[in-house]
A and B are shown apart, each in its own frame.
Chain A
Amino acid sequence: MQTTAQSLANPTRFMSLSATLLPWVGGLAASLIAVGLYLAFFSAPPDYQQGQTVKIMFIHVPSAWLAMGIYLLVAISSFGLLVFRHPLADVSAKAAVPLGAAFTFLALVTGALWGRPMWGAYWVWDARLTSVLILFFLYLGLMALRSSLDDETLAGKLTAILALVGVVLLPIIKFSVDWWNTLHQPASVLRIGGPSIHSSILVPLLVMAVGFMLAFIAMHLTAMRNEILRRRVKALTLAHVSHAGSRVPATAKG
């Protein structure tokens, strides 16, 4: 009897299930982001220190959370590929990496645009900022490594190993604000003792965060579907070429 994981490991079943889920997840993400934007611009008050610049936090924080969360997904998928040889694990890891790079880029850019009016500088070599920049380069490295190898199986395995090694960066990013004396403020939502933010700002922030997360899930499902289609096209093309080659008479082959 198949387990749920084995049953979902079937790419054809995944294509069918994801096609059903995608409109709902995408629609819910768009709705939540619309509500979050309304709350951010028409309900949330200016912060007593940051003023209206706090509005940047409603997109910066979800992007930063996703930058780390997506890397965790890449690492779990890589583990699934290397240990369990799950057929969709490599598809999941490959599909998530460019999305993770995009959200890390957004976290860095929106952070810089917040830092200029608040800190007086777009960039400082602070432990949190620097470790997130390294995460961005790690995402780029994963993409570069995969695309540098023609053998897709080998590329998948090597990329998975690099992704697992890179996991060490996640606790460094998370605790950098506690371990070092940084300009970046310490955690104010995911902290022991609960959030230290007033609900008038926390609620829009959480609505935007869930909206961003659902948007990522929709994009990830789409990217996985695209990758499965690409692999089918490649396999069929190779089979077609090989079949056509086997029918060519020996004299024609030279």
Chain B
Amino acid sequence: MDLGPHAAFIIASYAVVAIVMAGLITWLILDGRRHQRALDALEARGVRRRSQAEDSAR
């Protein structure tokens, strides 16, 4: 595939989009895991949300 005389600009554009999208996805996944770990740690210590505490009491 011949991208012509401006190939560098085309490749650079797609590279920037790929890097930013990959960065966003990685950040979202890691951020979610961090919060889930913190929530699991609290629940392991017996700290639960009111709705969960009511469910387990039934």
Q: Which secondary structure dominates chain A's binding surface?
A: helix
**Cα–Cα distance between A110 and B16 once the two chains are bound (Å):** 8
| CB pair A239 B47 closer than 8 Å | yes
| Contact code string B6-29 (vs A, CB < 8 Å = 1, else 0) | 110110111011001100110011
Near A by CB (< 8 A), chain B positions 3-57 give: 3-7, 9-10, 12-14, 16-17, 20-21, 24-25, 28-29, 31-32, 35-36, 38-39, 42, 45, 47-49, 51
Contacts of B24 in A (CB 8 A): 99, 102, 219
Query: Which of A12, A51, A53, A109 is the most central at the interface, judged by chain B CB atoms within 10 Å of its CB?
Result: A53
Near B by CB (< 8 A), chain A positions 37-59 give: 41-42, 46, 51-53, 55-56, 59
Contacts of A51 in B (CB 8 A): 4-6
Contacts of A102 in B (CB 8 A): 20, 24
Tell whether A56 pairs with B13 under 8 Å between CB atoms, given A51-B4, A106-B20, A233-B35. yes
Number of interface residues of B (CB under 8 A): 32
Q: Does A60 contact B (CB under 8 A)?
A: yes
| CB pair A46 B4 closer than 8 Å | yes
Question: Which residue from chain B places its CB closest to the CB of A60 in the assembled complex?
Answer: B13
| CB pair B28 A113 closer than 8 Å | no
Tell whether A53 pairs with B9 under 8 Å between CB atoms, given A223-B28, A232-B39. yes
**Cα–Cα distance between A152 and B26 once the two chains are bound (Å):** 26
Contacts of A106 in B (CB 8 A): 16-17, 20
The answer, among B10, B13, B35, for a CB contact under 8 Å with A226, is B35
Contacts of A183 in B (CB 8 A): none
Contacts of A55 in B (CB 8 A): 3, 10, 13-14
A242 CB to nearest chain B CB (Å): 11
Contacts of A229 in B (CB 8 A): 32, 35-36, 39
**Cα–Cα distance between A206 and B16 once the two chains are bound (Å):** 20
| CB pair B42 A12 closer than 8 Å | no
Query: Which of A42, A110, A233, A239 is the most central at the interface, judged by chain B CB atoms within 10 Å of its CB?
Result: A233
| Contact code string A187-224 (vs B, CB < 8 Å = 1, else 0) | 00000000000000000000000000001000100110
Residues of B within 8 A of A (CB): 1-7, 9-10, 12-14, 16-17, 20-21, 24-25, 28-29, 31-32, 35-36, 38-39, 42, 45, 47-49, 51
